[in-house]
Amino acid sequence: MDKKTIIPDAIHRYLARQQLRWYVFFITVLVTANSYFKRVRMSHENGITCRGRIRIVDNPTFPSHNLFIPGREFDARVRHAAASWTDDAKLVVRSAAIKFADDRFESPFDVMMNSGDVPLFWSARTFWQFMKGTMAGRGKGWVPYLRSHPQAIVGGADSVRRDPDTFAQMVYNTKTCLGFIGDDGVYRYARYRLRPADFDGKETGLPDGQDRAMPWLQNPYPEETRSRNYLKDELISRLNIEGRAVEYMLQIQLRRRPGPDQPEPEWVTSEYPWDDSVHPWHDVAVITLTEALDYTEAMKTWFDMANHPESLPVPLGVSIDDPHSLNNLRLASIWARKARLLTYKHRGMPKKFPDSRAAADWTGVPPMANPPG
Ligand code: HEM
């Protein structure tokens, strides 16, 4: 008999919400404890924070909005990072997090993006499954999840980057849906991306066929001689020594949200990108990076999805399979950020990790059969 005929819809919805609450609570406790006891960002530990400016474009082609006023300027911080491992030469997802203020915490708007168009997980349920692989040591720990969710392999293959020349020549996407309420009062869903201002369509670091087929084999090539910090060093040298600014364009894609009495459309999932011939990208702002911050200031900066005006709401999920449920988790993960900053106070700032792969802290992906058994 259909479950719905036994459990009335209202009870079913209530139970689904309770299950999501439990997931959020449990996952938040784990990531918060991890941040405190290991003194790390739960993810994206390996990164660099820069200072710069944001200037909203003069003639926006998207509906007018009270934050994105033409010509308006903001101070900014942007942090580039690798989502996992502490080695710039590993095959990893790269990121850009933007703060519309030059501040450690506060800002009118923070937005976080990763390389690639589609992520490795697309709901609280899939995030938890992915997280179990992470706790099992990544590498082969991820393989069962990737195998049982072919979509996750698509996301992994699409998002990892190997040996990029610079953070400044990659494209970063929010992937999940955010809210956008224009001056016309219409609620739309939004996705953002950051790309080089003069983008020629060629991203650095794109994975080859082998890396796309097995994105869990993340070790650097055996002949790798560059520093573990080469990518961050490139940005420091460019900004702080050569004085060559980095210029990006922040762009937005918008789609109308259906009315409150209509079901959420399938396209809110981050499993696939929105067709940009139908939902074009609009320029929002030029973002210029001028200075790389010192290590301590960079480490003491966090990015928080809760930093947004009312007119850029964060859609929330109602079950663990709702694509918006990732946002429930991300908002709750402020506790992990607080724990990270607190542990620096209690136990001191962790040391910068060394350049050498011979250093004791360097770990490779655990050896595994190929293909993993
Ligand atoms: C597709 C979805 C997601 C995207 C695009 C994303 C993006 C990012 C980015 C770019 C960062 C680095 C921020 C920085 O440079 O400081 C980050 C860090 C982090 N993310 Fe996510 N994330 C996603 C999902 C999640 C989920 C589901 C959780 C749930 C717990 C989460 C928890 C965290 C935490 C705890 C940090 C470290 C924050 C810190 O200690 O400062 N993220 N994420």
User: 97: domain CATH number?
Assistant: 2.40.180.10
Specify if 358 maps to a domain: no
Domain assignment of residue 361, yes or no: no
Specify the residue with its C-alpha closest to ligand 1, atom 31: 330
SS3 of residue 77 by DSSP:
strand
373 found inside a domain: no
CA 61 vs CA 11, 108, 141, 202, 253: distances in Å: 44, 22, 45, 25, 11
Model confidence at 150, pLDDT cuts 50, 70, 90, reads: very high
Task: Provide the whole-model pTM.
Answer: 0.95
35 lines ligand 1 (CB under 6 A): yes
Of all atoms in ligand 1, which is nearest to the CA of residue 270? 1
- CA 27 to ligand 1: nearest atom: 30
With respect to residue 359, please indicate whether it lies within any of the assigned structural domains: no
pLDDT of residue 158: 96
Q: Which of 181, 280, 278, 169 is nearest to 231 (CA)?
A: 169
Report the separation in Å between the CA atom of 260 and the middle of ligand 1, taken as the mean of its atom positions.
Answer: 29
Q: How confident is the model at residue 45 (pLDDT cuts 50, 70, 90)?
A: very high
Residue 73 maps to a domain: yes
pLDDT value at 281 more than 90: yes
Ligand 1 atom closest to residue 122's alpha carbon, by position in its atom list: 1
- CA 116 to CA 302: how far, in whole Å? 22
Residue among 41, 151, 270 to mutate when testing ligand 1 (max atoms within 8 A of CB): 41
Give the mean pLDDT of 336-359.
96
Residues 156-171, mean pLDDT to the nearest whole number = 97
Could you give the residue ranges of the DSSP H alpha helices within 161-305? 209-213, 230-236, 295-299
In a domain, 365, yes or no: no
If DSSP codes are grouped into helix, strand and coil, which group holds residue 237?
helix
Cβ of 196 closer than 6 Å to ligand 1, yes or no, is no
User: How large a percentage of the chain has pLDDT more than 90?
Assistant: 88
Q: What is the mean pLDDT of residues 319-326?
A: 97
pLDDT at 366: 75
**Closest residue by Cα to residue 254 from 179, 172, 314:** 179
Q: Which of 53, 68, 62, 89 is nearest to 233 (CA)?
A: 89
pLDDT at 367 over 90: no
Residue 370 has what pLDDT?
Answer: 60
Q: What is the pLDDT of residue 139?
A: 83
Region 301-328: what's the mean pLDDT? 98
- 332 alpha carbon – ligand 1 mean position (Å): 11
CA-based torsion, 101, 105, 109, 111: positive or negative: positive
pLDDT on residue 105? 98
Average pLDDT on 161-168 reads: 98
Q: How far apart are CA 372 and CA 144, in angstroms?
A: 9
pLDDT for the residue 276 = 97
What's the pLDDT at 174? 97
Q: Ligand 1 pocket, 31 CB below 6 A?
A: yes
Residue 368 falls inside a structural domain: no
> Cα(5) to centroid of ligand 1, in Å?
39
Residue range 245-275, pLDDT digits in tens: 999 999 999 999 998 888 899 999 999 999 9
44 within ligand 1 shell (Cβ under 6 A) = yes
- The pLDDT of residue 260: 81
* Least reliable range by pLDDT among 19-28, 70-79, 220-229: 220-229
Residue of 215, 243, 237, 227 lying closest to 88 (CA atoms)? 227
Domain range enclosing 179: 3-347
For residue 150, how far is its CA from the centre of ligand 1 (angstroms)? 23
Report if residue 370 sits inside a domain: no
Least confident range from 182-191, 205-214, 358-367: namely: 358-367
Q: Quick one: pLDDT band at residue 365, thresholds 50, 70, 90?
A: confident
Q: Judge if the beta carbon of residue 77 lies within 6 A of ligand 1.
A: no
Query: Among the atoms of ligand 1, which is closest to the Cα of residue 119?
Result: 1
Quick one: pLDDT band at residue 369, thresholds 50, 70, 90?
A: low
Please enumerate in sequence order all residues whose Cβ is within 8 A of that of 333, keeping only pairs 6 or more positions apart, or say none.
28, 31, 32, 42
Percent of the chain residues topping a pLDDT of 70: 97
Which of 1-15, 109-123, 301-315, 318-332 is predicted least confidently? 1-15
Task: Give 56 or 5, the one with higher predicted confidence.
Answer: 56
Number of domains, the chain: 1
Q: What pLDDT does residue 143 have?
A: 86
Average model confidence (pLDDT) for the chain? 95
How confident is the model over 18-37, as a mean pLDDT? 98
| CA 96 to ligand 1: nearest atom | 10
Least confident of 71-80, 140-149, 218-227: 140-149
Give the tens place of pLDDT for each residue, 87-140: 999 999 999 999 999 999 999 999 999 999 999 999 999 999 999 999 988 888
Q: Does the N-terminal peptide bond of residue 371 adopt cis geometry, omega within 30 degrees of 0?
A: yes
